[in-house]
């Protein structure tokens, strides 16, 4: 098993690199300037997520050298992550048209799916379904949606980092309980990289993740969830449960905006978490509340599914129901001037 020293090195490297990126952002005026759609009020350096990208990708070959995961999967993860991070960094520096971003996102998804063999068979009510080509298409859409929703949900201090840490630690717990500790290495290494960045991003944030970091986390978590499904079919459902806070808020908000005819790629601040942060007059209570939901509600549900005590689809529905009710209560997707 990989030495704890490696995790420590990744954490320290991410911490130091984030500090250096903050100095670079300040010197080059790479700043996030508040506007009427922002959830912050002070100009803040961005692109700190590059530290997560570099530290995680740099250590993945170690996993390959020790044969804990196949090189085909690792090259898919490295390639997809690098494509998305590069597009995000270019967008942080200037602007990349939506059509080119989406093209790059789908290219990254295809690269990852080709490397790992596509969508694993889905286990539904005890029956296994191999969806073939349709499954690969659905998997590509899943990856692209998850990396974009992660970008949408990275709007208050510490939230995206806390979510990634909770999901990865919970996924690692599942692997360890299923006697597959080597599969826990990749999620734990990502946890170490994100934790180093979080030291600078926890409310009040001194640097933001930026599109490079948020998109990268989204695509990596999507690929890790699909890889979990190849190990054990139930685990794909478990990972989808663990991602529930982001999936429900972003999807519910998007659907409401689509039904209203909004331009969905225009910036806004009407996600449930954004309304919650304004009601709480701060980011920290919301970020900590999301951590609590992940650990107290979603992790136990994911364990029930992953260990075979509950059907996966049924587990997702049960886990998501209170999250949907919470999104409704917080007026997710509702225009601000209509919120009482």
**Separation of alpha carbons 152 and 49, rounded Å:** 15
Can you give the pTM of this predicted structure? 0.96
Most confident of 26-30, 67-71, 264-268, 316-320: 316-320
Mean residue pLDDT of the chain comes to 94
68, 2 contact by CB (below 8 A):
yes
217, 164 contact by CB (below 8 A):
yes
With CA atoms as reference, report the closest residue to 89 among 186, 21, 191: 21
Residue 32's DSSP bridge partners are 44
Helix 159-177 to helix 233-242 angle (10° resolution) is 150
* Token representation of residue 3: 């030495």
pLDDT average, residue stretch 312-322: 98
pLDDT digits (tens, 9 = 90+) for 165-218: 999 999 999 999 999 999 999 999 999 999 999 999 999 999 999 999 999 999
pLDDT digits (tens, 9 = 90+) for 214-255: 999 999 999 999 999 999 999 999 999 999 999 999 999 999
* Structure confidence at residue 298 (pLDDT): 98
The residue assigned the tokens 């948020």 is: 214
pLDDT beyond 70 at 37: no
* Structure confidence at residue 35 (pLDDT): 66
Q: Under 8 Å CB-to-CB from 317, ≥6 apart: which residues?
A: none
With CA atoms as reference, report the closest residue to 62 among 107, 147, 3: 3
pLDDT beyond 60 at 1: no
* Structure confidence at residue 38 (pLDDT): 65
* Structure confidence at residue 15 (pLDDT): 98
* Structure confidence at residue 281 (pLDDT): 85
* Structure confidence at residue 36 (pLDDT): 59
pLDDT beyond 70 at 340: no
């Amino acid at each position: 098993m990989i030495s704890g020293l490696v995790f420590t090195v990744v954490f320290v490297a991410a911490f130091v690199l984030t500090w250096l990126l903050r100095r670079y952002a300040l010197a080059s005026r790479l700043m996030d300037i508040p506007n009427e759609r922002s959830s912050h009020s002070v100009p803040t350096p961005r692109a700190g997520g590059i530290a997560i990208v570099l530290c995680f990708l740099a250590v993945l070959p170690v996993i390959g050298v020790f044969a804990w995961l196949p090189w085909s999967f690792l090259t898919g993860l490295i390639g997809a992550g690098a494509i998305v991070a590069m597009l995000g960094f270019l967008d942080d520096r200037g602007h990349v048209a939506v059509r080119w971003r989406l093209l790059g996102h789908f290219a990254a998804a295809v690269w990852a799916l080709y490397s790992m063999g596509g969508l694993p068979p889905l286990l539904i009510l005890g029956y296994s379904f191999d969806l073939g080509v349709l499954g690969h298409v659905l998997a590509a859409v899943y990856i692209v949606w998850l990396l974009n929703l992660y970008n949408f949900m990275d709007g208050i201090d510490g939230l995206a980092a806390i979510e990634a840490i909770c999901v990865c630690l919970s996924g690692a717990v599942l692997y360890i309980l299923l006697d597959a500790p080597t599969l826990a290495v990749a999620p734990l290494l990502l946890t170490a990289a994100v934790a180093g960045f979080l030291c600078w991003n926890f409310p009040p944030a001194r640097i933001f993740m930026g599109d490079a970091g948020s998109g990268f986390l989204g695509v990596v978590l999507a690929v890790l969830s699909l890889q979990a499904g190849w190990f054990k079919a139930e685990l794909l459902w478990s990972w989808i449960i663990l991602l529930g806070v982001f999936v429900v808020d972003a999807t519910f908000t998007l659907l409401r905006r689509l039904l209203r005819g909004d331009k969905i790629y225009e910036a806004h601040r009407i996600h449930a978490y954004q309304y919650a942060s304004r009601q709480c007059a701060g980011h920290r209570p919301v970020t900590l509340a999301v951590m609590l939901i992940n650990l107290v509600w979603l992790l136990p549900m994911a364990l029930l599914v992953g260990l075979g005590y509950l059907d996966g689809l049924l587990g997702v529905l049960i886990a998501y129901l209170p999250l949907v009710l919470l999104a409704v209560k917080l007026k997710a997707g509702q225009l601000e001037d209509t919120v009482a």
